[in-house]
Structure 1
Amino acid sequence: MSNVTPDKPSHNEDDYFAREEIEAKRKLALEQSKEMAAQQRESLKQLHYMKCPKCGMDLQTLKQGNVELDSCFNCHGVWLDAGELDEVIKQHGHEGSGKVMGAILNLFKRTPPTP
């Protein structure tokens, strides 16, 4: 006769299932954390998207050739996305930064109202 009872799992088997349960819970917590971080990023994007980083007012998109400049009419800030400054310089040739800045600043010149 054997001393092994078929109804009682071995100690190693208990450890295995305990580790499996812990790993499953760890993976679930990690997924929840990633989902929460993604939701927080989306929430922040909705809160700050197209807002001036300087004064918080809405940014307006203005076309300058092939480039869309994000512009604030409250504080007169101009914001460029990655690569847009290079594109503006290409459009105006290698005439120097003064001409490029002049072209950008011309967007904000006030024209007197027509009578």
Structure 2
Amino acid sequence: MADFDKPSSTEEEYFAREDIEKKRKLALQQADQLAAKQREDLRQLHFMKCPKCGMDLHTLKKGHVELDTCFNCKGVWLDAGELEQVLAQGSENNGKVMGAILNLFKRS
């Protein structure tokens, strides 16, 4: 009867491998969660900040385009596809939109 109480070495190896696999999956899951949190923290830190001077960006709507502008360094930042929209509006209005945008940042 003593033989039935004692697990075989292959059984011990199986459970040891299962335990290691569970710990590995848990570690990978924790690493993924940490990476996601770090990405979100970086996004919050840099979201709507001027890449040139670090001050807050403000959104100005000109026509159908929203321009991210920095009133500190007078920078204008465009998201993907916005330059094409500005140029298209400029050609439709004979350059009036682009002229209005440039007038925003003229120094007094």
Q: TM-score when scaled to structure 2?
A: 0.84
Which stretches of structure 1, 4 residues or longer, exceed 6 Å deviation after superposition? none
Q: In the alignment, what sits opposite 1:85?
A: 83
Q: In the alignment, what sits opposite 1:57?
A: 55
Q: How does 1:33-112 map to 2 (within 5 A)?
A: 33-93=31-91, 99=95, 102-109=99-106
Q: Identity percentage over the alignment?
A: 68
The count of residues paired between Structure 1 and Structure 2 equals: 106
Higher helix share: 2
Instruction: Provide the C-alpha distance between the structure 2 equivalents of 1:19 and 1:94, rounded to a whole number of angstroms.
Output: 68
SS at match of 1:13: helix
Please, what is the CA RMSD of the aligned residues?
A: 2.3
* Deviation at residue 23 of structure 1 after TM alignment: 0.9
SS at match of 1:70: strand
Q: Does 1:30 align with 2:28?
A: yes
**Residues 27-82 of structure 1: CA deviation (Å, up to 9, x unaligned):** 11111111111111111112111110100011110111111100011111111111
Structure 1 gaps of 5+ residues are none
Q: TM-score when scaled to structure 1?
A: 0.79
Letter matched to residue 39 of structure 1 = K
